[in-house]
């Protein structure tokens, strides 16, 4: 109930922030990225949703991540995401699971926004993309009780320092809006599918850093705050200066 | 702008649904050895060699546990089958020992006959998940019995786990049955099986 309430509140806040961002967009003069250039700078994003979830929702899991997104022709956005995540979970039978680990994701986003000929220039993005995620991590499973209901007696088993590598892929869909000059707010939804599944007989982890709870498929949500480096303004200014100088030269001639 | 808000709301609702986690175990944890009764020499049966069952009226099955104080084998308090008319018995093997002993009491028309079946096995701890914990599966090494009513026992499937399989066949002697003056097959005690 509490979790649903928190998500409801965050959803409303998200709607407000997106609408505010769009409203602010109208007020400022947007300088569009140059679609003829291959490299249009890069954006550094920090995920706020994972930080907020880790702080406000006590579900035994925490995560924080950041990423770098290159802007190629304002169409393709190769992305690298790195983060740290962990879980400290106790089951209803008092079995304890603990893990901490790093994770990485590589992939590319594609800008789905079609540029209309009469539309105002903008840097806002509506993207869809793919990621390949991986994590190598250690985990402990302790206090596994084995009770014999018929013959009697019980024993407790511990599985300390288990190590595993997991690989998964993600479908990502999201929005990025330039709120203030070079500052971006955005969100994205991810559907994750595990490639390396559990081997029968192994002590499987309950949680995979960067993937979430160990299931064949999982969902993820990021709310990002980003800053775009190498702003196009400088490039535009330079090109304007060159054009003005050329015009002046033509007049003097 | 309306389009963006609509997409955001749809995804937020989707997220609310997907974030509900289930911490209950949905896997079966019931590990048991299955033993079926067969007739060694079913001369009286209509479908010879394809009939399971025995001529006893009922069976009582109970585990026997070694008591280190009295240095004797004592019956476990809980009775697995109490005067039941069955052709198949499911037996729990001891998780903390490699030997499980069962007392099988066959109630015949005139008297009761007791046999003891000893199962030697190894135990394997099998971790399932955080929700389900661990189960103990077994591998049967050897089965020995006394031969008062039981003729012999044969291992069919060595692995004892959650999969439903016929692990042991217990053969009962029809000549012994004849000596007990039982001449008819009770239809309820007949079960066909596929090889």
Q: Decide if A185 is inside a domain.
A: yes
pLDDT score at B112: 85
Which tokens sit at B65?
């546990």
Nearest to A186 by CA among A1, A18, A19, A12: A18
* Cβ contacts of B133 on chain A, cutoff 8 Å: 91, 93, 95, 144-146
pLDDT range class, residue A83, cuts 50, 70, 90: very high
Report pTM: 0.73
Q: Decide if A4 is inside a domain.
A: no
CA distance B73 to A89: 43
Nearest to B43 by CA among B30, B26, B55, B60: B55
Give which of A150, A175, A215, A223 to mutate to test B binding, by max B Cβ within 10 Å. Answer: A150
CATH number (domain holding residue A108): 2.40.160.20
Query: Number of structural domains, chain A?
Result: 1
The reply to whether A19 touches chain B by the CB within 8 Å rule is: yes
Residue-wise pLDDT tens digits, B132-184: 999 999 999 999 999 888 888 999 999 999 888 999 999 887 566 555 443 33
* Cβ contacts of A91 on chain B, cutoff 8 Å: 23, 130-131, 133
Residue-wise pLDDT tens digits, B68-82: 888 888 899 899 999
The reply to whether B75 touches chain A by the CB within 8 Å rule is: no
Q: Decide if A188 is inside a domain.
A: yes
Residue-wise pLDDT tens digits, A182-229: 899 999 999 999 999 888 878 999 999 999 999 889 999 999 999 999
CA distance A207 to A59: 12
Q: Decide if A253 is inside a domain.
A: no
CB-CB neighbours of A37 under 10 Å: 14
Q: Decide if A210 is inside a domain.
A: no
Pick A14's closest partner by Cβ from B8, B80, B125.
Answer: B8
The interface predicted TM-score (ipTM) is 0.74
* Cβ contacts of B139 on chain A, cutoff 8 Å: none
Q: Decide if A19 is inside a domain.
A: no
* Cβ contacts of A146 on chain B, cutoff 8 Å: 95, 125, 133-134, 136
Mean confidence (pLDDT) of chain B: 77
Q: Decide if A128 is inside a domain.
A: yes
CB-CB neighbours of A120 under 10 Å: 10
Partners of A64 in beta bridges: A84
Look at B15 and A7 and tell me if their CB atoms are within 8 Å.
yes
Element (H, E) at B20: none
Q: Decide if A192 is inside a domain.
A: yes
Look at A146 and B97 and tell me if their CB atoms are within 8 Å.
no
Residue B9 pLDDT > 70, yes or no? Answer: no
Q: Which domain holds residue A188?
A: 34-88+101-136+168-198+215-229
> Which of A17 and B133 is assigned the larger pLDDT?
B133
């Amino acid at each position: 109930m509490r979790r649903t309430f928190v998500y409801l509140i965050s959803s409303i806040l998200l709607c407000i922030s997106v609408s505010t961002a769009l409203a602010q967009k109208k007020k400022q003069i947007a300088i569009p990225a140059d679609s003829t250039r291959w490299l249009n700078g890069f954006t550094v994003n920090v995920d706020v949703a994972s930080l907020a979830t880790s702080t406000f929702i006590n579900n035994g899991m925490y995560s924080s991540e950041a990423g770098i997104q290159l802007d190629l022709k304002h169409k393709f956005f190769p992305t690298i995401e790195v983060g740290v995540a962990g879980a400290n979970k106790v089951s209803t039978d008092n079995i304890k699971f603990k893990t901490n680990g790093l994770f990485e994701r590589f992939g590319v986003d594609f800008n789905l926004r079609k540029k209309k000929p009469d539309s105002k220039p903008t840097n806002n993005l509506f993207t869809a993309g793919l990621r390949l995620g991986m994590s190598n991590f250690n985990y402990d499973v302790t206090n596994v009780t084995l009770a014999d209901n018929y013959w009697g007696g019980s024993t407790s088993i511990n599985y300390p320092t288990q190590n595993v590598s997991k690989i998964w892929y993600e479908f990502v869909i999201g929005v990025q809006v330039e709120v203030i000059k070079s500052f971006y707010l955005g969100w994205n939804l991810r559907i994750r599918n595990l490639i390396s599944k559990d081997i029968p007989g192994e002590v499987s982890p309950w949680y995979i850093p960067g993937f979430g709870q160990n299931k064949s498929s999982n969902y993820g949500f990021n709310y990002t705050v980003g800053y775009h480096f190498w702003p196009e303004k400088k490039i535009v200014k330079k090109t304007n200066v060159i054009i003005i100088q050329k015009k002046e030269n033509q007049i003097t001639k | 702008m309306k389009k963006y808000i609509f997409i955001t709301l749809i995804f937020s609702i989707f997220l609310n649904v997907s974030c509900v986690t289930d911490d209950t175990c949905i896997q079966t944890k019931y590990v048991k050895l299955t033993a079926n009764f067969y007739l060694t020499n079913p001369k009286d049966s209509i479908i010879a060699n394809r009939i399971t069952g025995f001529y006893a009226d009922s069976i009582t099955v109970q585990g026997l546990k070694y008591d280190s104080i009295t240095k004797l084998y004592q019956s476990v308090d809980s009775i697995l089958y109490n005067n039941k008319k069955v052709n198949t018995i499911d037996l729990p093997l001891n998780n903390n020992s490699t030997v499980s002993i069962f007392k099988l009491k066959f109630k015949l028309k005139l008297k009761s006959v007791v046999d003891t079946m000893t199962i030697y096995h190894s135990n394997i701890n099998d971790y399932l998940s955080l929700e389900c914990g661990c189960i103990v599966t077994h591998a049967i090494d050897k089965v020995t019995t006394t031969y008062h009513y039981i003729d012999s026992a044969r291992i069919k499937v060595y692995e004892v786990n959650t999969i439903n399989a016929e692990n042991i066949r217990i053969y009962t002697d029809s000549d012994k049955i004849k000596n007990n003056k039982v001449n008819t097959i009770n239809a309820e005690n007949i079960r066909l099986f596929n090889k």
